[in-house]
Structure 1
Amino acid sequence: MNLFRRAKALLSTDEPSAATITVAQPPTIAQPQAPDAAPRHLLVPAEAAGDAESDALRHRAANALVGKHLKRPEPAAVDPTPPAPAAEPSLESTLTPEPEPEWRPVALAANRGKFFQSPTPVGKGFILEREEAKAVLNDWSIPYSDVVRPYLTSEDLAEDPRQQSGRWIIDFGQRELDEAGRYPRALEIVEQRVKPERDTNADESFRTRWWLFGRPRLPMRAALDPLKRYAVLGSLGRRMIVAWAHPWIVASNSTMIFAGDDDYSMGILLSGAYDTWARAGTLEGDLRNTPTAALATFPWPDPVDARQREAVSTACVTLYRRRSELCREREVGLTRLYSLGWPEANPDLAKLHRRLDEAVADAYGWDPSIAADQARILERLLELNREVAEGRRPYSPFPAAG
């Protein structure tokens, strides 16, 4: 049952609270307020997400309808001797139902191996405050920096002016217990704080390998190993948060990872096109950058020529640099930067976002005007996902390494 049929059922009740229903989506970072007309399709996640997740996210897809107000008609006044009953407006005349989506996006095979959920420690005892980590790292007799690393969370991405971590974490990677013993101070902390909790865990592997992260994400580690940096995406929140991180940094499980270090890819992730796609399947504007909800289904531009790639890269570098400068100058994180009078308070940054969005639109082969039109962006991305999934369009957006 789609949103409008559910709204119709609700509005037919006698509850005063059901008199008006509003479905709205806030503006994105890179886009102005969405146009008045709603998209023809509701973006929903891949079927591969699983029934429970798919059902939940399918309801969140209602957020793709922008600025629609649904009102129950007021009842006619009661007149004991009316000459003729006044005709009430019908629900059909006050509700404009959207058609059912013709296509539900699916995960694209070529996107595999590029996006990952960050590691899950399974045990708060792995995490160290700054001073405790400093004390361990200052023991120069042992290279503790091998296993004591900065720990970057979604909150750090959103609130820290430099998008840097505030805490640290002990991460033994896949070292066996005897190897972990080469870092005695770190292992002692984990044994005292993590092992007691793990000893009662129902998962046997968590109990027997208590010094290791519960979900270390080995494919992710292999993908990041040759890179000079990687992109971290805040997985929840009203703002699209993307930033670079050094491979030494461990991103928390509240984030997602893109295994790429080129400015072109960062430009696509910072664009209004990706933001629109990610936001379209959400509830009340909250972004959920899970592989099935957005990253795995998102159709990247392909093919892209050298000129288009360079244009996106250049726009991205300029935007990212200016964004970082403003955060440092004002000592604010990205959330505040994009909340305080945006975009009027930062016209130069807004202009750089528009330039990036137009470069990305060109990479897709779209007219520049589409860069500011969320409805048309969704329609085209949805059709592109379908063409790729059905084998009607070649799709290899990520060049092989080397």
Structure 2
Amino acid sequence: MLDQIAAESRLFEAWSDEPWVVDGASVRVSLFCFGQGEDELRLDGKTVAQINSDLTAGSTDLTKAHRLVENKNIAFMGDTKGGAFDVPGELARSWLRMPVNPNGRPNSDVLRPWRNGIDVTRRPRDMWIVDFGSGMSEQQAALYEAPFQYIKEHVFPERTKNRRDAYRERWWRHVEARPALHSALHGHSRYVATPRVAKHRTFVWLDQSVLPDSRIFAFSRSDDVFFGILHSRFHEAWSLGTCSWHGVGNDPTYNSAGVFETFPFPAGLSPDVPAIRYEKDSRALAISTAARKLVDFRDAWLNPTDLVEMRPEAVSGFPDRILAKDTAAQAVLRERTLTNLYNRRPQWLIDAHAKLDAAVADAYGWPVDISDEEAMAKLMELNLSREAIGAGATSGKARKPRNPTPEEARRAPQMRLPIDGGLSTATTKEKSSGNMFGPQEAGAKRTRRNVRRAS
């Protein structure tokens, strides 16, 4: 909506992020005023040259960034289970150790380690999940006796109450199993993951056997170069400039359409280029080396070898378990989380990121000390140029219209300006929409946001 207001009117005063407590609800809001005139432009109480539709004052308006063809089908939201399919690790291991089922298959076919946002930002909780995939029939699933019986007792009662026919009738499957994600990850031994909502924008490696929850975004790449570019300060700044903010902590979010698919990678290192094609590129080698060093240092801090022991899983095909050597070690490890690490930012972490940032800057052809503002301007130029090149690759053929993504649908204009009616009419409309409050005649708007709690 703000995109349309900024295009058709004039934002002259705004507060980008304010706490708001009313009727017991504690949320954060943005307030903005718009209309024609020559009023001085003010953002968060300061005079600025312009106010962009994302309520920033920079000369680079990232809301105008386009989704890039070269970034498509790489980033995926994780699985939405829709019931108590998740089980403690010890229960899963008892099923893994059972004899094969009547179909001659082991329970490992339908059991996977499970990770959500908390497992990434804190420490893995040793949770597993029963996963019958997106195509297994109820009769086929029942042949995995113990896991099936468990979800029949813990999932079936609730799913039979679901209003959606597909969820109710196919109760033994996850509500959104993300088959496209599974297809994209096929052939990879690992993949990159990041929490959808987190205080710090961190990226981690997950083993291909791990099923990511919907609170995680997964990327179907397994090369260190891709990981390193994502974990550079340039992608972090881009993500903060294109994301929304959620939760009590007002933490930044991540998504595929607005954040990842708009981000332009260095030329020749984009996600549509197989890693094998740039494995000898000096730029790629520098990024890869720096990225591996960062991960090695982090892993050594998270799981010091004098505090942990590696133990093979109950059956093959899954990553080794990382276990504390004793209760004293367990107490120390409890505080060794990615969130705590990035809160502290020890010098070795700063240095490791600086080396990675330098390698990525060089890949773009930029000076190492380039400012974030200048980098965003250059990334925006790259984004717009590549969109034009991508559109020209159709050789003049008209593209078939596609359905908008949920993110595009959410951001699509909901009204046309000017809005007819006075205060009472406008207020009634706004209350019915549930996302705006305030006097329409003066052009003042107040939008509620950030009402979801961070994981």
The code of the aligned residue for 1:133 comes to A
Choose from 89, 93, 98 the match for 1:139.
98
Bigger mean CA offset, 229-238 vs 126-135: 126-135
Q: Secondary structure at the match of 2:293?
A: helix
Report whether the alignment pairs 1:168 with 2:128.
yes
Give the letter for the 1:336 counterpart: N
Of 335, 341, 344, the match for 2:339: 335
SS at match of 1:291: coil
* Residues 192 and 172 (structure 1), Cα distance of their counterparts in 2 relative to 1, 3 Å cut: same
Distance in 1 between residues matched to 2:94 and 2:167, nearest whole Å: 28
1:151 aligns with 2:114: yes
Deviation per CA, 1:30-65, whole angstroms, max 9, x where unpaired? xxxxxxxxxxxxxxxxxxxxxxxxxxxx979xxxxx
Superposed counterparts of 1:258-269, under 5 Å: 258-269=219-230
Query: Which residue in 2 is equivalent to 1:86?
Result: none
Name the aligned partner's letter for residue 309 of structure 1. A
1:382 aligns with 2:347: no
Q: Deviations over 1:74-119 (max 9, x none)?
A: xxxxxxxxxxxxxxxxxxxx62242543861121112111111111
Q: Which residue of structure 1 lines up, in the alignment, with residue 369 of structure 2?
A: 369
Of the candidates 205, 226, 242, which is equivalent to residue 203 of structure 2?
A: 242
Partner of 2:300: 325
Check conservation: 2:14, 2:43, Cα contact below 8 A.
Answer: no
Instruction: Percent identity, please.
Output: 26
Deviations 1:210-255 (A, max 9, x none): 1111111111101111111111111101101211111111111100
Mapped contact 1:387–1:393 kept (Cα < 8 A): no
Cα distance in 2, alignment partners of residues 99 and 167 from structure 1: 46
Amino acid at match of 2:200: R
Match of 2:212 in 1: 251
2-side partners of 1:298 and 1:203: how far apart? 36
Change (3 A) 1:394 1:324: farther
Q: Tell me: CA distance 1:263–1:216, structure 2 relative to 1, closer, same or farther (3 Å).
A: same
**Superposed displacement of residue 165, structure 1:** 4.7
CA distance in 1, matches of 2:169, 2:158: 12
Paired with 1:348 and 1:234, the residues of 2 have a C-alpha distance of: 24
The answer to which structure has the higher helix fraction is 1
- Residues 181/9 of structure 1: CA separation in 2 closer, same or farther (3 Å cut): closer
Match of 1:121 in 2: 81
Instruction: Determine the structure 1 residue equivalent to 2:290.
Output: 315
Residue 353 of structure 1, CA deviation: 0.4
Tell me the distance in 2 between the aligned counterparts of 1:280 and 1:233: 17
Q: TM-score, normalised by structure 2?
A: 0.63
Q: Which amino acid aligns with 1:156?
A: D
Q: Helix, strand or coil: the match of 2:285?
A: helix
Q: Counterpart in 1 of 2:431?
A: none
Q: Secondary structure at the match of 2:13?
A: helix
What is the number of equivalent residue pairs in this alignment? Answer: 310
How far apart, CA to CA, are the structure 2 residues paired with 1:129 and 1:102?
A: 43
The answer to whether the 8 A contact 1:279-1:285 is kept is no
> Quick one: distance in 2 between partners of 1:362 and 1:351?
17
Is the counterpart of residue 95 in structure 1 residue 47 in structure 2? Answer: yes
Cα deviation for residue 134 of structure 1 reads: 2.5
Secondary structure (helix, strand or coil) at the match of 2:297 reads helix
Check if 1:292 corresponds to 2:260. no
CA distance in 1, matches of 2:391, 2:235: 20
Amino acid aligned to 1:203 = R
Give, in whole Å, the separation in 2 of the partners of 1:309 and 1:336: 30
Structure 1 residues 132 and 392, CA gap change in structure 2 (3 angstroms): closer
* CA drift at 1:349: 1.9
Cα distance change on mapping 1:363 and 1:129 into 2, 3 Å: same
Contact kept in structure 1, 2:232 and 2:356, CA below 8 Å: yes
In the alignment, structure 1 segments of 5+ residues that lack a partner are 11-20, 24-57, 61-67, 72-93, 396-402
Structure 1 runs of 4+ aligned residues shifted over 6 Å read: 392-395
Q: Which residue of 1 aligns with 2:348?
A: 348
2:13 to 8, 19, 33: 8
Structure 1 pair 385–181 and aligned structure 2 pair: CA distance change class (3 A): same
- Asked if structure 2 preserves the Cα contact closer than 8 Å seen for 1:224 and 1:230, the reply is yes
Counterpart check, 1:357 vs 2:357: yes
Q: Distance between the aligned counterparts of 2:158 and 2:48, measured in 1?
A: 54
Tell me the TM-score normalized by structure 1.
Answer: 0.71
The verdict on how the C-alpha distance between 1:97 and 1:181 changes in structure 2, with shifts beyond 3 A counting, is: same
Q: Provide the C-alpha distance between the structure 2 equivalents of 1:307 and 1:394, rounded to a whole number of angstroms.
A: 30
Distance 1:171 1:9, change over 3 A: closer
- The match for 1:204 is 165
Distance 2:145 2:114 in 1: 20
Partner of 1:293: helix, strand, or coil?
A: coil
